Structure 1
Amino acid sequence: MRRRLISSTLAVVLVVISVFGLSLALVEARTITEGARESVGAEAVRLTGVVENRLAAGEAVDSGTLAEQLPPGRHARIDIPGRPPVLIGPRPSGDVIEARVEGARGETVTVQQPRAAVTDEIVRTLLVILMVSLLAVAAAVFLALGQARRLVSPLTDLAETAERLGSGDPRPRHRRYGVPELDRVADVLDASAERIARMLTAERRLAADASHQLRTPLTALSMRLEEIIATDDRDTVKEEAAIALTQVERLTDVVQRLLTNSRDPRTGSAVAFGLDEVVRQQVEEWRPAYRSAGRAIVCTGVKDLRAVGTPGAVAQVLATLIENALMHGAGAVVLHTRVTGNQAVVEITDEGQGVPAELGSRVFERTVSGRNSTGLGLAVARDLAEADGGRLELLRLKPPVFALFLGREAGRE
């Protein structure tokens, strides 16, 4: 493209120079020739006047007295009736420009100038035009190189940006080039890079959240299946199977929620529901795991609370907190329900060492963990709570108290 820009610019300049340069040369040659004829004619008229004046005054008319009246490089012949011709200046050889004037006393004045002098002046003028044309070509080459560099370099840079986007590097470069059209392309590429970066971030976040959120219901389901395998009592098998089916439904709900909200984790579907039922359900589901660990899990507090939120999301938040208490806590775990203002609150506490002080303010950040875990659980739980207008807070470090705040159903006390 660089060569094409330079070639096209030079072609335009050469065409312009050819058209206007040749026209100018022809006009200048004609002007110089006409000017020389007019000058010779004017010289002949002037010299005729001088001769008439001298004849009228009875003064001598010869080459000596009239030599100063003629510019160098010109030749004059004065013919006076009854007198020999008077010659002034060297007689030119070759082609000449000539002017002849007859005076009132019958004298004839002929002035000649060598055409070679006019030709030399025309050649000098053409050389000046040629030099100016060459300077114009040189300037055109310089400008073409600069323009080509100004256009080709940004295009190469934009091509590299597009290649980076295609290779999976979505970082915007935020470079602008002072050319509106190229800057527009750069704006589009940067906007595309930012969209791709957001999409990749959302996909990675979806994968991480999915792996974490699916782990809890799968763990609960596997515990139910273990209970079924370990017992021969038909009624127990039916009961555990029913609970397992409930876990499968919840697992399906988690998958559907992940797919629906993968682009916007704050998209909620809040409804009024019975909070006691969700809390009791979680206690029953996790009791076998706590029993196996030699620990207890109980629920206390205000009964018959109705909250506003998504039951599946609330169950997932509680499951995350219960699982953390099982993995990182100690002693009995208590789920306590209470009312504060127009909110229903579920507090989860255990008798363990609690949350380290240095992590207290960052415990809900992604990848932040005091143990060898992913650090996603509490971050995902907080997102789920906030999606329905609630919030998840750490009220106390030791012993740890996590609280899930949910809006209460309007008209309920």
Structure 2
Amino acid sequence: MRRRLVLLVVATSSLVLVAFLLPLGLLVRTVAADRAIDGAVTRAQSLTPLVATLERTRLAQVVRQLDTETPDSPMTVFLADGGTVGASAPRSQAMRLAASGRSIVAQAPGGVEVLVAVQGLPDGTAVIRVFAPESELRHGLDTAWMLLGAVGAGLLVLSILVADRLARSLVWPLSDLARASDRLSAGDLTARATPAGPPEVRKVTTALNTLAGRIGELLTRERESVADLSHRLRTPLTALRIEAESLTDPEESRAIGEGLDTLERTVSDIIREARRPSHGGLWAVCDAVAVVRERADFWSVLADEQRRPMSVRIPEGPIPVLVSAEDLAACVDVLLDNVFAHTPDGVGFGIGLSPRPGGGARLTVRDAGPGFIGGLPTERGASQAGSTGLGLDIARRTAKTAAGTLELDNGPTGGAWITLELGAPPGAQPRRHRRHVRLPHADTGSR
């Protein structure tokens, strides 16, 4: 836009300068020619009384003296008796017309001839011819054209500078507005644009800032509502715990108590997640190795209880990914919970984490179960196993937040294969593959 505004001003200024300087240059040329012709007429008129009073010899001396002063503009006197005095010149049609008593200015080869008739002589009419060459007609014209060109170029440069400043004052607020919009679209709700520029741009900037603040308020209100609703579940949970403790069967009381503990932890996690502050959208970063290793250790206990062979392949060293640790942990929990929920006890599974060549990480979860029966779940809430179908959607949104993808497939020998691609944060350097750490569990062979 800035370049277009400058080009528009340059085109407009060029048209104005051409419309102004071209007529002015033609006027200068006309003035220069008129000045040369006026000088020639003045010289011819100054010789008119001498032609009537001096004899031919004396007149010739005067003409030669005048020619010496202006050698480029010779003078010729055509006498009434047919003789000539001064420089030789042809008797043109214009000279014959002047001999009839009319003073004229006519074009001649190489310039202009000024013919002044001298009447009242005894022998008839004499004609004084003064030749004005082309160089005299254009005297000072080149300098004038150079000055006009310099003035035009200076005005054009000045217009470019002014247009650039004006375009910058218009484009900078729009660029700042675009940057704020990009940050908002990336999830950074703290992004704001500085109101500047024309009133219309200021109005749009103010509206965008107001919209960003309103979005933040609505998200905060939604989070608080979720947290409050989740908190209300604590009252019935407490009542159920009291009922469970009053049971006479210790084993039954313990089993119900463990279920209530799990449910209470889930409610606490929901409250904590709802009230967790925003991490700035796509700019949240965590170490995928540390998060996946911690969640694998957590789920390995349950895998041992259900006698599930578990294979874990995690490289050494950090792998930074473009997602928060809480979101990645929740995503891993969802994927592993699907394995435990939709496969029988004793079915093995594997967890793999590896760095991507371009940065980021690739997380894989594969099991030896029946796989995705009835087709791959591609829509939110779609499930063939009787669940809500929202678990994979959480993983899909985590991948999207991390500038990655989620791929679902059935293994060649059965089982569900889930691959989660996670992007690298800006400025992160791709790392080389290192040896993996394998937890002491049997490999299922399915991943």
What TM-score results when the alignment is normalised by the length of structure 2?
A: 0.42
Q: Which structure shows the bigger proportion of residues in helix conformation?
A: 1
Larger Rg: 1
Structure 1 length-normalised TM: 0.45
